[in-house]
Structure 1
Amino acid sequence: MKTNGTLPVIVKETIDLNDKEKQIFDRLHKVIAHFNLETKLRVVGGWVRDKLLGKECYDIDIALDNMLGREFCEKINEYLVSTCEETQGFDVIQSNPDKSKHLETTRMSLFHVWIDFVHLRSEDCNLQFGSPKEDAYRRDLTINTLFYNINTCLVEDFTKRGLDDLKFGKIVTPLPPKVTFLDYPLRVLRAIRFSTRFGFEMVEELKVAALDNDVKSAILGKVSKERMAFEIDLMVNGNQPTKALTYIYDLGLFSIVFTPPTNHKPLILEEHEKSCVEYMDLAWRQFHEVGCNFIDKQRRLYLYASLFLPIRNTVYVDNKDKMVYVVNYILKNSLKFVGLKT
């Protein structure tokens, strides 16, 4: 349980499965039994965290201890053939270490729910199979290191602090923060998002690592604008958008996630960063005071518009000697118009 100035958060001791989850996991049990496999299946990450918080979640990631995800999906289809059921197609997303994508992931739909299958990652994050403990320590945050063992129906905490950090509302990395961030730099933004989503406290060591120039360079060099835009949009569409953007500013990440044109003087944008966040905060408070009846898309556009209001008249000269608004450049190249899509 945590208070942190808000209502207490209760963390459950066990996970209660709904009917759909029972159906999915029963199917996986039958596949293992049919082929007499020694494979242990564990649900990892956000699903475990959310279920322990009493929230429903259909983002199910399953880690295997002795085979690749595509191999297990092939076994599922073999089982379906044996029971005269329709086989399911699956997609294999290859690893890409240069972009911090260390694991091959296989996606398959079971009972109309998409499941991601991966193998447990080893300490050096290559294709070798790791132990559950090794895998847990390679994850982003301790609250996301918890496993639900489908074979035993038990929650497993291999870092010995995942449950405690969830109970006491701490945003902590399993390994030293700089190591975790350099392994996958997008985790800096994920730490901010989870902190503001749950109202959890980012520990000081994590903030120091996020301010590190090596980490910032890694974000710029290894994380695509699409992935950054996705995380930022989740923050803006979340329950504490201005707190999230305040973290972005305080940690010196504003010009990284909202990258200005290369031929634009960065100082002109940097001197407006604080004002951008303040305008968004004012708009957010006004939104609640007036009681605007916006749908999600309208709310996002309202907040993005308020965020960039201080630089609305800032322009640059593009490679065709044409005057272009910096905001237009950011929307197109940094946010990829993400606020306009859905």
Structure 2
Amino acid sequence: MCSVFFLTLNLLFHMDVKDNNNHFYAVVSNLLRLRPMSVATQHVLQVRDKIKLSDIERRIFDRLLASLRHFNLQTQVRVAGGWVRDKLLAKDCYDIDIALDNMMGTEFAHKVKEYLVSIGEGKDVRGDGKIKSNPDRSKHLETATMRWFDMQIDFVNLRSEEYIENSRIPSKQSFGTPEEDACRRDLTINSLFYNIHTDSVEDYTKRGISDLKSGRIVTPLPPKATFLDDPLRVLRAIRFGVRFEFTLDEDLKVAAACGDVKDALAAKVSKERIGKEVDLMISGNQAVKAMTHICDLTLFWNVFSLPPVFKPAISDGCERLCVAYLDTAWNLIHLLKESTFKDKERRFLLFAALFLPLKNTTYQVKKAKMVPVVNYIIVDSLKQKGEDAKMVLDLHRASHKFLSLIPCLASNEDLQPDDVDWMRGLIDDVSIASRVRVLTGFLLREIKDLWRVALLVSILLHPIGINDTEDESSQLHKRRDLFNTVESSIIKLGLDNVWEVKPLISGEDIMNVLQLKEGPLVKEWKEKSMAWQLANPFRTTEECIDWLRETNSKRVKLE
């Protein structure tokens, strides 16, 4: 199966993917449905029976209890949500959400600050600010926040909530019991409380601890009702599931894939919040598994929504092809040296790989203007920065250029002008032996320090010879080896920081030497001069000017 898959995929790499109605594309899509995505083996997590506090945590909780006594407050103080979950899993957590049973968070935070000042510890607290309600950041209620001993402390009251049909913003909020607050949360593993009065964990859903121990992602209430109230919880369930390598509950998956929930996801959740969840998944420890869940739950085109009027339609199975590219990129990253990609580069690489099948797909706006669909998905569907979309598109373009250079960089073959369909004029006056260095230099000056990312994207597209005895692991190692070979060739050519090399002559120099006015011809000579400089890396400014005069003289004579 693996050999058939990679043979078919290699053929697809050299087809124009924008032809979404191509029969062969559909065949590949069917193959991709059969191919299991790479997912990590589920780990058995050790769950503590009791929370062990650090010295700082104990000091913070002691001061909270002392504040209650100082002001004679009859308030129950609990820690809610993620901190409780992480402490039971013996993980560090530096965000503490304080839940109060009969008091607003801002009021209690001011009391705590006042008490700390009275005992001479006010300097340990930075800010007691108020965060207004912000549903796009999952904050439905006004919250007080402070930094205390390098811990982020948020204060909010326990609440019960009611939702209206077309909004994930609660229409009615009131003080709630711990049971009501726990049941309104997204997942049982996030619904646990730590009561600082009794030093005990409280599980009001009656299954939060057991789900944590068994590694299950479950909603406190029936999943469809939970998701219709706030459809963002579907993506949060996926993100927490892959983060901890937990299993999604079967009823949860059925609810997440149903039409009503998908419609609600489009109607009630802002694109900014969807984009934030996707970014957290891509930046997390199981990006492929997260995108696989999104595919399996038929949510891919709800999350990565296409332009409202888009023709031709995306072919069936395209989302699986997107995840297949992401899968291969992910595995290659982990086969390469750990230092090969920084976090920022890794993020761009994974987005570029995920949207690689759409790299040639455009849609029409303003009558004649054609815009890449990838740009729409990143900017409009995910509300990411325009710079992010530009970088992904630049990586797609650079990977296409790298494809024509890989054979020569990998085997030291001479490059012929017909081997490339870009910048042909730049190598007309360059010796055959220098052509690869010149074109590679221009490409790296264009993509700069993301050239390794662009190279790996092109490695995903490059055909790799296969035979019937090779498995998927062998194919991945071949791609890894090809990446390392090309990278070494670029470094040996002295091009790994070529974008920092200053031109020997400027546009002003060219105008003075050739008696030209500023215009397209000056730009052409600037590019030719840089090509000469890349072909002759140890020559001087004077020699470049001599070459410029001589070449221009020959050109004038030919005219």
Q: TM (normalized to structure 1)?
A: 0.91
2:65 corresponding residue in structure 1: 29
Q: Superposition pairs for residues 125-144 of structure 1, below 5 Å? A: 126-144=172-190
2:496 corresponding residue in structure 1: none
Matched, 1:324 2:371: yes
After superposition, give the CA deviation of every residue in 1:185-238 in whole Å (9 maximum; x if it has no partner).
Answer: 110001001111111110110011101222112211221222111111111111
1:109 pairs, out of 133, 137, 147, with 147
The worse-fitting range, judged by mean Cα deviation, of 330-339 and 52-61 is 330-339
1:196 pairs, out of 232, 242, 248, with 242
2:519 corresponding residue in structure 1: none
Contact residue 62 and residue 117 of structure 1 kept, 8 A: yes
Question: What SS class does the counterpart of residue 314 from structure 2 fall into?
Answer: helix
In the alignment, the residues of structure 2 paired with residue 97 and residue 235 of structure 1 have an alpha-carbon distance, to the nearest angstrom, of: 20
More helix by share: 2
* Distance of aligned partners of 1:239 and 1:99 in 2 relative to their CA distance in 1, 3 Å threshold: closer
2:261 pairs, out of 215, 219, 232, with 215
* Distance of aligned partners of 1:97 and 1:246 in 2 relative to their CA distance in 1, 3 Å threshold: closer
The worse-fitting range, judged by mean Cα deviation, of 74-83 and 265-274 is 265-274
Structure 2 alignment gaps of length 5 or more? 1-39, 163-169, 390-559
Q: Superposition pairs for residues 215-234 of structure 1, below 5 Å? A: 215-234=261-280
Matched, 1:20 2:56: yes
* Distance of aligned partners of 1:269 and 1:79 in 2 relative to their CA distance in 1, 3 Å threshold: farther
Matched, 1:173 2:219: yes
Contact residue 77 and residue 195 of structure 2 kept, 8 A: yes
- 1:274 CA displacement: 1.5
Q: Superposition pairs for residues 135-284 of structure 1, below 5 Å? A: 135-265=181-311, 267-268=313-314, 271-284=317-330
In the alignment, the residues of structure 1 paired with residue 313 and residue 277 of structure 2 have an alpha-carbon distance, to the nearest angstrom, of: 25
Contact residue 100 and residue 183 of structure 1 kept, 8 A: no
* Distance of aligned partners of 1:42 and 1:320 in 2 relative to their CA distance in 1, 3 Å threshold: farther
Q: Write the letter of the residue equivalent to 1:254.
A: F
2:44 corresponding residue in structure 1: 8
1:93 pairs, out of 131, 136, 139, with 131
In the alignment, the residues of structure 1 paired with residue 378 and residue 138 of structure 2 have an alpha-carbon distance, to the nearest angstrom, of: 25
* Distance of aligned partners of 1:9 and 1:100 in 2 relative to their CA distance in 1, 3 Å threshold: closer
Contact residue 159 and residue 177 of structure 2 kept, 8 A: yes
* Distance of aligned partners of 1:281 and 1:131 in 2 relative to their CA distance in 1, 3 Å threshold: same
2:111 corresponding residue in structure 1: 75
1:48 pairs, out of 64, 84, 90, with 84
After superposition, give the CA deviation of every residue in 1:48-78 in whole Å (9 maximum; x if it has no partner).
Answer: 1111001000121111000111111121233
- 1:6 CA displacement: 3.7
1:64 corresponding residue in structure 2: 100
Question: What SS class does the counterpart of residue 310 from structure 2 fall into?
Answer: coil
Contact residue 136 and residue 273 of structure 2 kept, 8 A: no
In the alignment, the residues of structure 2 paired with residue 268 and residue 274 of structure 1 have an alpha-carbon distance, to the nearest angstrom, of: 12
In the alignment, the residues of structure 1 paired with residue 109 and residue 342 of structure 2 have an alpha-carbon distance, to the nearest angstrom, of: 39
* Distance of aligned partners of 1:271 and 1:168 in 2 relative to their CA distance in 1, 3 Å threshold: closer
In the alignment, the residues of structure 2 paired with residue 113 and residue 284 of structure 1 have an alpha-carbon distance, to the nearest angstrom, of: 33
Contact residue 239 and residue 290 of structure 2 kept, 8 A: yes
In the alignment, the residues of structure 1 paired with residue 199 and residue 62 of structure 2 have an alpha-carbon distance, to the nearest angstrom, of: 12
1:297 corresponding residue in structure 2: 344
Contact residue 161 and residue 173 of structure 2 kept, 8 A: no
* Distance of aligned partners of 1:320 and 1:237 in 2 relative to their CA distance in 1, 3 Å threshold: same
The worse-fitting range, judged by mean Cα deviation, of 300-309 and 213-222 is 213-222
1:308 corresponding residue in structure 2: 355
Contact residue 104 and residue 156 of structure 2 kept, 8 A: yes
In the alignment, the residues of structure 1 paired with residue 326 and residue 240 of structure 2 have an alpha-carbon distance, to the nearest angstrom, of: 20
Q: CA RMSD in A?
A: 2.4
Question: What SS class does the counterpart of residue 122 from structure 1 fall into?
Answer: strand
Report how many residues are paired. 338
Q: Write the letter of the residue equivalent to 1:165.
A: D
Contact residue 43 and residue 245 of structure 2 kept, 8 A: no
Question: What SS class does the counterpart of residue 130 from structure 2 fall into?
Answer: strand
The worse-fitting range, judged by mean Cα deviation, of 137-146 and 250-259 is 250-259
After superposition, give the CA deviation of every residue in 1:26-50 in whole Å (9 maximum; x if it has no partner).
Answer: 2212211110111111111111111
Question: What SS class does the counterpart of residue 8 from structure 1 fall into?
Answer: coil
* Distance of aligned partners of 1:65 and 1:246 in 2 relative to their CA distance in 1, 3 Å threshold: same
Question: What SS class does the counterpart of residue 62 from structure 1 fall into?
Answer: strand
